[in-house]
């Protein structure tokens, strides 16, 4: 194993240029946008600002993944995947709570974000991963116990958090009462804490594929060069520090992009949910790429660990965060989905249970999940007001 060595400051800054770009963008974006309005058409300013923010968010998000993957080499599985999941989920949770605490978020902001993530992850990305694995290897295997552990939490948390609020009588509409909110906070955090204990210690072997048990946590040859390069020049605390440092401006950039998307949607008359959907997809892009690369390298277990961890962490951490903000600030929080989205969520959960009922996957299963994802996109564009009510 290669030892870590101290990098010269100049080379360190050169390697971490996305951090300098993101900080500079946060500091100058408001001034530049107001200056551009003086001599450029508003439509051109909106388009240029949005494209610029998307680029900066992308390079920052992938830098987060770069440091998280380097930590994964040192920590092994499933701790490495957990670091990546918590990092990316943290971006989303902090973005939602920042918008809501500032009083600018819609009552259904958190609900929509959770639903977007579930549909993108469990249908879109899982479909792509299974399709790629089926085309390249015909069949792929994974540890059935670990995936069932994920689903055993995702299903009840999704139903209790996104469907049940529509049918409670203690509060009107898709909301829940204060006692119900307090219970949901404790329940979500408690069950997720139990799951983390299972995943990282008690039943850690559930989340490692059969051919990885007892082996070194080193990555396969296809990715070894990248991981070894980071591991040879940085220590674990270095990677952890840069990971956190990247997250801070990334939250502000994501918030700015969300507001820009609102302006673009108003100008173009695009479907109302499209802005939140694109922001969620952008935040999930690093995990998505890592999961696809793992499936391409025939590491389906790692790929599914990443994806299902993301869906679970989003629900389990977003619900307590936004309900806490609502209890403190007195804001109304919508959690219950409307009828079409409840059907899509229920169908997604049912198909996911059927897909992962056996320890082998194939191309047909990936095609079914992609079909559901396309159906969801069709509904989103067919009914512009489908998410906000």
Model pLDDT for residues 66-99, shown as the tens digit of each residue? 777 777 677 766 666 677 677 767 777 776 666 6
Beta carbons of 112 and 162 less than 8 angstroms apart: no
d(CA 47, CA 359): 46
pLDDT at 387: 42
**Domain assignment of residue 91, given as a range:** 9-382
Burial class (CB in 10 A: 0-12, 13-18, 19+), 98: middle
**Cβ atoms of 172 and 297 closer than 8 Å:** no
DSSP state at residue 299: -
Beta pairing, strands 140-141 & 360-361:
antiparallel
81, 309 Cβ separation under 8 angstroms: yes
Q: What is the pLDDT of residue 44?
A: 65
Domain contains 389: no
221 pLDDT exceeds 80?
Answer: no
CA–CA gap between residue 123 and residue 146 (Å, rounded) = 19
Number of domains making up the chain = 1
Query: How large is the average pLDDT for residues 170-181?
Result: 88
Residues in the chain: 389
Q: 339-343, long-range: CB within 8 Å, 24+ apart, which pairs?
A: 340/379, 340/383, 340/386, 341/115, 341/379, 341/386, 341/387, 342/162, 342/163, 342/166
pLDDT in tens, 2-16: 444 555 556 666 778
Question: Has residue 16 been placed in a domain?
Answer: yes
Q: Which of 54-58, 149-153, 188-192, 353-357 has the lowest mean pLDDT?
A: 54-58
How many whole angstroms separate alpha carbon 91 and alpha carbon 247? 7
Looking at residue 197, which CATH number applies to its domain? Answer: 1.20.1420.30
DSSP secondary structure code for residue 39 in this structure? T
DSSP 164: G
pLDDT tens digits along 97-117? 666 655 455 677 778 888 988
Mean pLDDT value of segment 277-287 = 78
Taking the CA atoms of the chain, what radius of gyration do you get in angstroms?
21
The answer as to whether 281 is a domain residue is: yes
Burial of 368 (0-12, 13-18, 19+ CB in 10 A): middle
Q: Is 223 contained in some domain?
A: yes
Name the 3-class secondary structure at 360: strand
CA distance 315 to 89: 10
Q: Could you read off the pLDDT of 176-192 as tens digits, one per residue?
A: 999 999 999 999 999 99
pLDDT tier at 287 (50, 70, 90 boundaries)? confident
User: Quick check: is 357 in a domain?
Assistant: yes
pLDDT digit string, tens, across residues 236-250: 777 777 877 887 787
Identify which of 251, 285, 243 has the alpha carbon closest to the alpha carbon of residue 101. 251
Which of 202, 203, 220 lies closest to 211, judged by CA?
Answer: 220
Q: How far apart are the first and last CA of the chain?
A: 56
Question: What count of other Cβ atoms lies within 10 Å of the Cβ of residue 197?
Answer: 11
Q: Are 46 and 260 in contact (CB under 8 A)?
A: yes
Considering the chain, what is the average pLDDT of its residues? 78
pLDDT at 357: 92
Q: How far is it, in rounded angstroms, from Cα 11 to Cα 34? A: 35
Torsion of CA 214, 216, 219, 225, to 10 degrees: -160
Cα separation, 333 vs 58, whole angstroms? 30
Task: Provide φ and ψ at 140, rounded to 5°.
Answer: -130, 150
Verdict on whether the full-model pTM lies above 0.85: no
The better pLDDT of the pair 41, 129 is held by 129
Query: pLDDT value at position 149?
Result: 92
């Amino acid at each position: 194993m290669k030892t870590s060595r101290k990098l010269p400051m100049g080379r360190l800054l050169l390697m971490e240029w996305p951090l300098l770009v993101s900080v500079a963008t946060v500091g100058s974006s408001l001034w530049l946008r107001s200056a551009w309005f003086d001599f450029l058409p508003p439509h051109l300013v909106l388009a240029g600002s949005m494209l610029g923010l998307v680029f900066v968010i992308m390079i920052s998000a992938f830098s987060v993944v770069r440091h998280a993957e380097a930590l994964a080499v040192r920590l092994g599985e499933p701790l490495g995947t957990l670091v990546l999941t918590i990092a990316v989920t943290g971006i989303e949770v902090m973005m939602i709570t920042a918008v809501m605490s500032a009083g600018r978020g819609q009552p259904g902001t958190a609900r929509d974000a959770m639903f977007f993530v579930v549909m993108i992850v469990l249908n879109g990305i899982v479909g792509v991963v299974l399709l790629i694995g089926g085309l390249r290897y015909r069949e792929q295997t994974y540890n059935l116990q670990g995936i069932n552990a994920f689903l055993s939490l995702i299903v009840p948390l999704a139903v209790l958090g996104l469907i049940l609020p529509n049918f409670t009588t203690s509060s009107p509409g898709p909301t829940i009462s204060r006692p119900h909110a307090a219970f949901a906070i404790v329940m979500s955090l408690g069950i997720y804490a139990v799951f983390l204990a299972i995943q990282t210690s008690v039943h850690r072997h559930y989340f490692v594929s059969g051919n990885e048990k007892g082996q070194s946590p080193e990555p396969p040859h296809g990715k070894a060069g990248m991981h070894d390069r980071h591991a040879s020049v940085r220590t674990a605390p270095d990677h952890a520090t840069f990971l956190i440092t990247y997250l801070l401006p990334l939250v502000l950039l994501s918030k700015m992009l969300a507001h820009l998307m609102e302006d673009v949607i108003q100008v173009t008359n695009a479907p109302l949910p499209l802005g939140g959907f694109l922001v969620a997809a952008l935040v999930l892009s690093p995990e998505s790429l890592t999961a696809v690369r793992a499936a391409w390298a025939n590491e389906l277990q790692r790929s599914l660990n990443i994806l299902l961890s993301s869906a679970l962490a989003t629900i389990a951490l977003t619900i307590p965060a936004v309900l806490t903000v609502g209890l403190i600030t007195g804001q109304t929080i919508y959690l219950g989905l409307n009828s079409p989205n409840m059907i899509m969520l229920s169908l997604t959960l049912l198909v996911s249970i059927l897909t992962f009922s056996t320890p082998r996957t194939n191309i047909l299963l990936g095609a079914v999940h992609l079909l559901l994802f396309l159906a969801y996109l069709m509904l989103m564009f067919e009914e512009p007001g489908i998410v906000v009510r």
